Amino acid sequence: MGLPVSPVIAPILRAELKRRKIQAALEYTPYGAVADLFRCLQIKPNSEDPLRFLLAGPAGTGKSRGALEFVHHCCLKFPHLRAAMLRKTRTSLTSSGIVTFEKKVLPSHPLWLDKVNFHGGDQQYNYPNESILAVRGMDKIGRFMSSEWDLVYVMEATELTQEEWEGIDSRLRNWRMPLQILVGDCNPDVPTHWLKRLSDIGTVTMLHSKHEHNPELFDQATGEITSRGRAYLARLDALTGVRKQRLRYGRWVAAEGIVFEEWDPATHLITREDPIPAEWPRFLSIDFGYTNPFVCQWWTQDPDGRLYRYREIYHTKRLVEDHAKAIKQFLQNEPRPRAIICDHDAEDRATLERHLGLRTIAAIKDVSPGVQAVSLRMRTAGDGRARVFFLRDALVERDEELSENFKPCCTEEEIPAYVWDLSANRKRGEQPLKKDDHGCDASRYFIAYVDTNAGSLGLTEFINRQIKLQEKEREQAREIKESDAPPVPAAVASSTNPPALPAPTTPKSGACRMCGSEVLQRISGNQARCAACGYQWDPRTGMGSDEQARARQKALNSTVQTDSRNTRRGG
C-alpha cells in the first residue's frame, strides 16, 4: 500500500510524470546505420588519425536526421566541442540541413530547446557547455579552414571534390573529444565516384542506410510498414532508370547510354566567386512548360568564348506571364540580353514578348547536331579547360513538388540521367529519351545558337571543324609528351654563345593566332573572334583580348606614376 501524497505535491508529481512521458516520446532512438555511427563513440582510440564515415543509401532512410542527431549528441556530451555542419554552398544548407536541425532535431530534446541558440554574426549554434555547431558552405569556407575542429558533418558529400574532403579532414585536430570524426551522407552516385573508391580501399567506412531502419516508414517494434512508408515508397517505385536504382535501391550505378559522356560535375559545376563583368554579353534560353517544367536559363560569354549558365528558373504549374514578371525583375539590374532564344510555341512566345517588351528568336531544334555541339563544349580544350560551365547557386527557386517526387529540379540534376532512346530498334546517338530533358533542351538551344552564329558555317559543318581541331590538338599534345629532347652536341655545350632559337611561326593573315583556323567572325570594327576556339583579338595590332587588357592596365599605371612624380616635383 503506497504512502498518501499531499494535495500540494500531487499536481507537481503528475506534471513531472507527464513531462517525462513527453520527453521519452520525443527523444531520438537511432537504428541501423545511424546506430552504428553512435557506437563509434565507444571505440577506444588507438591513433590520432580521424575516423571517417559515410552514411549512404536510398532516399528517405533518415541519413541527414541521424547524422545531425549524432552531432547534437556530441555537442551536449563533450564541453567546448567545436563541430561544423557543411554543404557545397551555404544557400543550399539553409534550405536543407538547418531546417532539419531546427524543425526535427532540437524539438526532440525539449530540455535543451531553449538553451541552444543561433548567433547570426558567427553563423553558429551556441550550447550551454560552450560547445558550438558552426554552419558553413564550401563557397565561403575561409574562416573554417583557419580553425581547428573535433567533428564535421558534410551534407550531400558527393557534391564535394576529393581535395575539399581532404582539406576538411586536415582541420580535425581540436581534441575536445576522444575521437576526431568526419562524417558525410549521400545518395549513391556513379560507381567510379571518389567517395566510393575511398570506401572500397578502407579510407572511409561506408554505413549502409535502409528504409527499414527509418521509424517514420517502418514500425521498429513489429517491422511492419507504416501508412506514411507505403505512400513514400510508392513514389520511389514510380521512378525509372538510374534514379530508381539509386534512390529506391541505393545502388552505385551509372546510367546506360548517357548522352553527355563528357559531363563531370568536378569540371563543369563551378562556384560563383566574383561578379560577372558588365561588359560580358548576356543571353536567355527558354523551354516552355506548365505541367512539365518551364526553364529559363541566363547565359554569359567570357572574352575567350567560354559559356556560363549563371541563373535558372526551373518550375512547374506557373503561367508564362508569371514567369515573365520574374524574368523582368532580374533584367532590371543587369545588361540587356543580346538574344532570347525560345522553344517554337507561338502562343507562349507572343505572351513572353508582350510582357517583357523584347523580341525572341526561335531555337534551332535539330537534336543530333545540337547534342554534339553541347558535347564538344563539355570536352576540355587545349588549355585543359572546358568551354561550358554551370554555376552551382544558379537556381532561383526550388520546385518543392518536383523535389518531393524525386524529379530533377535544375539542369545539372537532369544531365546524369539524360540517356539515348534505344526503343523501337533505335541506335545510340540517334535520339535522346524524351523525359526529364527540359533544362538540357534549353542548354542545347543556346549553344546551337551561339555556335551556329560563330561564323558563316551551318551547325553540322561547324561541329565537324571543331572535331578536327580537337583531334589535331590531342595529336599535338601526344607528340609533345612522347618526344624526348635531343642531346646537346658537345661543341654547342662548350660554346660561350648559345645557339640561335628558331623563328616563331606566324599564322596566315586573317587566321586565328591561337589555333590557326581561318573561319572568323568580325564582332566589331576592331575585334575578331575565331569560330573554332572562340579566341578574340584585334586584327590591327594582333593583340588578344587578354593582352589588350594588360596593355591598357600598363598604360594606366604608367600615367598614374607620371602624375605622381609630377605632383611630388610640384609640376
CA distance 157 to 169: 13
Contact by Cβ (8 Å): 520, 454: no
What number of other Cβ atoms are within 10 A of residue 13's Cβ?
11
The gap from C-alpha 432 to its chain's centroid, in whole angstroms, comes to 24
CA distance 553 to 559: 10
Residue of higher predicted confidence among 476 and 247: 247
- Shared domain for 80 and 214, answered yes or no, is yes
As beta bridge partners, residue 153 has 85, 183
- For the segment 295-313, the average pLDDT, to the nearest whole number, is 96
Strand order in the sheet with 536-537: 520-524, 527-530, 536-537
- For the segment 249-268, the average pLDDT, to the nearest whole number, is 92
- Shared domain for 70 and 215, answered yes or no, is yes
In a domain, 396, yes or no: yes
Whether residue 166 is predicted with pLDDT greater than 70 in this model: the reply is yes
CA distance 552 to 155: 45
**Rounded (10°) angle between helices 32-39 and 63-77:** 20
- Shared domain for 65 and 111, answered yes or no, is yes
Domain that holds residue 517: 513-561
- Shared domain for 131 and 189, answered yes or no, is yes
pLDDT in tens, 462-500: 556 556 655 665 666 566 556 554 444 443 333 334 333
Domain end: 213, 246, 279, which one? 246
**What pLDDT, on a 0 to 100 scale, did the predictor assign at position 457?**
45
Whether residue 369 is predicted with pLDDT greater than 50 in this model: the reply is yes
Nearest to 88 by CA among 134, 148, 154: 154
**What pLDDT, on a 0 to 100 scale, did the predictor assign at position 470?**
59
What number of other Cβ atoms are within 10 A of residue 494's Cβ?
8
CA distance 172 to 167: 10
Nine-digit cell string for 440: 538540357
**What pLDDT, on a 0 to 100 scale, did the predictor assign at position 230?**
96
- Rg of the chain, C-alpha, whole Å: 30
CA distance 360 to 369: 22
Measured over the CA atoms of residue 277, residue 279, residue 283 and residue 284, the dihedral's sign is positive
CA distance 524 to 127: 62
- Shared domain for 365 and 331, answered yes or no, is yes
Q: Percent of the chain having pLDDT more than 70?
A: 74
Contact by Cβ (8 Å): 67, 185: yes
Worst-scoring range by mean pLDDT, 28-32, 135-139, 211-215, 541-545?
541-545
Contact by Cβ (8 Å): 365, 333: no
**What pLDDT, on a 0 to 100 scale, did the predictor assign at position 259?**
94
DSSP for 387-444? SEEEEGGGBSS--HHHHHTT---SHHHHGGG-BB---TTPPTTS-B-SSS-HHHHHHH
Domain end: 428, 452, 476, which one? 452
Residue of higher predicted confidence among 142 and 57: 57
CA distance 570 to 262: 62
Greatest distance between any 2 Cα atoms in the chain: 115
Record the pTM. 0.69
**What pLDDT, on a 0 to 100 scale, did the predictor assign at position 248?**
95
What number of other Cβ atoms are within 10 A of residue 59's Cβ?
18
Worst-scoring range by mean pLDDT, 21-35, 42-56, 266-280, 335-349?
21-35
**What pLDDT, on a 0 to 100 scale, did the predictor assign at position 390?**
97
The gap from C-alpha 312 to its chain's centroid, in whole angstroms, comes to 13
Nearest to 296 by CA among 395, 378, 377, 367: 395
- Shared domain for 173 and 134, answered yes or no, is yes
- Shared domain for 109 and 213, answered yes or no, is yes
pLDDT in tens, 519-558: 455 555 566 666 555 556 666 665 665 555 555 555 555 5
Whether residue 21 is predicted with pLDDT greater than 70 in this model: the reply is no
**What pLDDT, on a 0 to 100 scale, did the predictor assign at position 497?**
41
CA distance 71 to 41: 12
- Shared domain for 203 and 299, answered yes or no, is no
What's the CATH code of the domain at 429?
3.30.420.280
Nearest to 206 by CA among 224, 186, 220: 186
Nearest 10 degrees: CA dihedral of 73, 78, 79, 80? Answer: -90
Contact by Cβ (8 Å): 209, 179: no
In a domain, 120, yes or no: yes
In a domain, 545, yes or no: yes
As beta bridge partners, residue 86 has 136, 154
- Among 31-45, 179-193, 487-501, top mean pLDDT goes to 179-193
- For the segment 232-256, the average pLDDT, to the nearest whole number, is 93
pLDDT in tens, 311-325: 999 999 999 999 999
What's the CATH code of the domain at 88?
3.40.50.300
∠ CA(432), CA(438), CA(441), 5° rounding? 60
Mean confidence (pLDDT) of the chain: 83
CA distance 214 to 312: 34
Q: How many domains does the chain have?
A: 3
pLDDT in tens, 98-156: 999 999 999 888 777 788 999 999 999 999 999 999 999 998 888 889 999 999 999 99
Phi, psi angle pair for 447, to nearest 5°:
-65, -35
CA distance 249 to 205: 20
- Shared domain for 433 and 544, answered yes or no, is no
Whether residue 347 is predicted with pLDDT greater than 90 in this model: the reply is yes
- Shared domain for 163 and 273, answered yes or no, is no
**What pLDDT, on a 0 to 100 scale, did the predictor assign at position 488?**
42
Nearest to 32 by CA among 1, 15, 10, 55: 55
pLDDT in tens, 372-398: 999 999 998 878 899 999 999 899 999
In a domain, 70, yes or no: yes
In a domain, 3, yes or no: no
Residues 6 or more apart whose Cβ sits within 8 Å of residue 211: 58, 60, 61, 217, 218, 229, 233
- Shared domain for 100 and 154, answered yes or no, is yes
pLDDT-derived band of residue 507, with 50, 70 and 90 as boundaries? very low
- Shared domain for 91 and 168, answered yes or no, is yes
In a domain, 495, yes or no: no
In a domain, 500, yes or no: no
Whether residue 360 is predicted with pLDDT greater than 70 in this model: the reply is yes
Whether residue 501 is predicted with pLDDT greater than 50 in this model: the reply is no
Domain end: 246, 281, 316, which one? 246
Q: Are strands 205-208 and 269-270 parallel, antiparallel or unpaired?
A: unpaired
Burial 104-116 (b: 16+ CB within 10 A, else e): ebbebbeeeeeeb
- Can you tell me whether residue 175 is helix, strand or coil? coil
3-state SS, one letter per residue, for 222-258: CCCECHHHHHHHHHHHCCCHHHHHHHCCCCCCCCCCE
Whether residue 1 is predicted with pLDDT greater than 50 in this model: the reply is no
Nine-digit cell string for 215: 521509424
Nine-digit cell string for 547: 593582352
In a domain, 256, yes or no: no
